[in-house]
Structure 1
C-alpha cells in the first residue's frame, strides 16, 4: 500500500497545470495529470516528474464532456491500484480550462455553453465524481481568475463561470468539513507562457505597468501556491479565495 500522497491535476500537460504538477512532485507528491489532446506533452511531464523521483500517470480527459466522467474515474481507480498501490488520492486540483474573448453583445449560446461546461458544470460534477476516491483529510483546489474581481471587456462568460466556482468552493468547504477536507480557490491574473493568454509585447507591457510588482507572471509564479495549499502548513486555510496577481490593478 502506497504511503505517498497523490494529487489529481486536470489540464496538466502544459502551462499552469504542468507547473503545478512539477511543483507538487518537488514536494514529494505523486501525480495523476490529465490532458485533452496533448498526449506527447503529457508524457513529457510524466517523464519530468519521474526524473524527480516521484510517480506519475497521464490520463485523457475532456473536462467539458460530462458524459465521459464515469469512465474517467474508472480509469483513475485503475491507475491508483496499478501505479500507486492504493484506492484513494489526496488532492484534487481543478485546473483544466479554455479561454474565450467576446463582447456580451456578440456572445453566442454555443460559446456560453462551452464556458459553462468546462469552467463550471464540469468542475462541479467532476468534483462530485471524485469525492468517493478523495481521501478524508484531503484538499480541493479550484483555479479561478482575477477577472472575478476586475472586469475586463470580452471575458464576461469566462469570468461569470469562475465566479460561480468561487461560490462553489465555499460550499465544498462547508459540506466536506466533516471529512476533514479543505477547499480553496486560487485566482491567477494574466499569466503568460502557458498558451492561454493572448501574448503580445503590448499586452505584456500593459499588464506589467498595472501590476504592483512591475512585471508579468509566468506559470512558475502560480504552481508553488497550489503546492503550498497541499502542505500541512496550509491546513487551516479553508473556503478562501487566494488571488495571485503580483498586485494587479490594486
Structure 2
C-alpha cells in the first residue's frame, strides 16, 4: 500500500461497481482520487466517504459522458477539485472505466443505440485522454477498462463489444505515441464481475456465471482493482500497449 502517495487519479464511472472498487483501491494506495459519476449524487458521496473513512483523499466530479461538451464539463470540475485539494491541476493517472452496455439482439440494434455506445465507450475515453495529457507529467499512467467480450461471442452485446474493441485499439496506438514521455497506456479486460446488478444476485444466474470461470466464482470489483493498481504503480512501468485479461480464466474454455 501507499505506492501512489502524492499521485492524483481520475476514475470515470467511479461511484459504483468496478469503478468504485478501483477508486477505493487507488485511495488506499495513497492517491488523491477524483470520483467521476454521471447522475447518482448519493452513490458518489458514498464512494468518496468510503475512501476518506479509510484514511484516503477523494472528491466527486459530476459529468454526463457521451453528450456534447462532456469533456469540457468533466475537466472544469476536475481541475476545480484538484486546485481545492492540492493547489495544482497535475493529473498522474487516468482510468477510463465508465461505460454502457447494449443488451440488444443484432437485428434490433438502432443507429441511435449504436451511436450512444460508441460515444460513451470509445469517443469519450479518447477525448478524456487527449485533454488529460495537458495535465499529465511524463511517467503518467492511462488505464482503459475493456471487456472479455472482445474475445468471446455474446450476440446481444455485439455493439458493446465493437465499442470495447475500439477502446483496445485506442490503447494500442496511444501506447506507441506516448512512450517517449514515459506514459504507459494499458487495457484491463474483466469477465463476469459482481458489480451489484440485480441479475447477478439471483442464485441460479450466479451459479451459471461462476461456472464459466476457471475458479468457479464470479469476479469481484477488488479483483479488477488489483490489476489496475499494479499498472498504475511503479511496478507497471515496463508494461504498455497490452490487454490484461482479468476474467478469472473465462477464456480458457
Q: Give TM-score scaled by structure 1 length.
A: 0.94
3-state SS of 1:89 partner: coil
Contact 1:144 1:188 in 2 (8 A): yes
**Inter-partner Cα distance in structure 2 for 1:162 and 1:74:** 27
**Inter-partner Cα distance in structure 2 for 1:211 and 1:25:** 29
Cα separation, partners in 2 of 1:66 and 1:140, compared to 1, 3 Å: farther
Partner of 1:42: 44
Superposition map of 1:12-27 within 5 A: 12-27=14-29
Contact 1:116 1:161 in 2 (8 A): yes
Contact 1:66 1:125 in 2 (8 A): no
Contact 2:62 2:77 in 1 (8 A): no
Q: Does residue 80 of the first structure (1) align with residue 82 of the second (2)?
A: yes
Work out which of the residue numbers 70, 73, 77 in structure 1 matches 2:72. 70
Cα separation, partners in 2 of 1:195 and 1:85, compared to 1, 3 Å: farther
Contact 1:190 1:197 in 2 (8 A): no
Partner of 1:113: 115
Q: Does residue 231 of the first structure (1) align with residue 228 of the second (2)?
A: no
**Inter-partner Cα distance in structure 2 for 1:210 and 1:43:** 34
Contact 2:71 2:124 in 1 (8 A): no
Partner of 1:102: 104
**Inter-partner Cα distance in structure 2 for 1:28 and 1:197:** 34
3-state SS of 2:22 partner: helix
Q: Give TM-score scaled by structure 2 length.
A: 0.93
3-state SS of 1:33 partner: strand
**1:72-99, Cα deviation, whole Å (9 max, x unpaired):** 2122222211112222110000001122
Partner of 1:203: 205
Work out which of the residue numbers 124, 131, 141 in structure 1 matches 2:126. 124
**Inter-partner Cα distance in structure 2 for 1:138 and 1:196:** 36
3-state SS of 1:141 partner: strand
> Does 21-30 or 58-67 show the bigger shift?
58-67
> Does 15-24 or 126-135 show the bigger shift?
126-135
**Inter-partner Cα distance in structure 2 for 1:83 and 1:117:** 30
| Long gaps (5+) in structure 1 | none
Task: Calculate the aligned-residue CA RMSD, in Å.
Answer: 1.5
| Long gaps (5+) in structure 2 | none
Cα separation, partners in 2 of 1:229 and 1:99, compared to 1, 3 Å: same
3-state SS of 2:156 partner: coil
**1:174-219, Cα deviation, whole Å (9 max, x unpaired):** 1111111000000000112333965533332222222111111121
Q: How many residues are paired up?
A: 248
Contact 2:91 2:132 in 1 (8 A): no
Work out which of the residue numbers 218, 241, 244 in structure 2 matches 1:242. 244
**1:93-152, Cα deviation, whole Å (9 max, x unpaired):** 000112221111111111111111110111111211211012221100000000000111
Work out which of the residue numbers 6, 19, 35 in structure 2 matches 1:4. 6
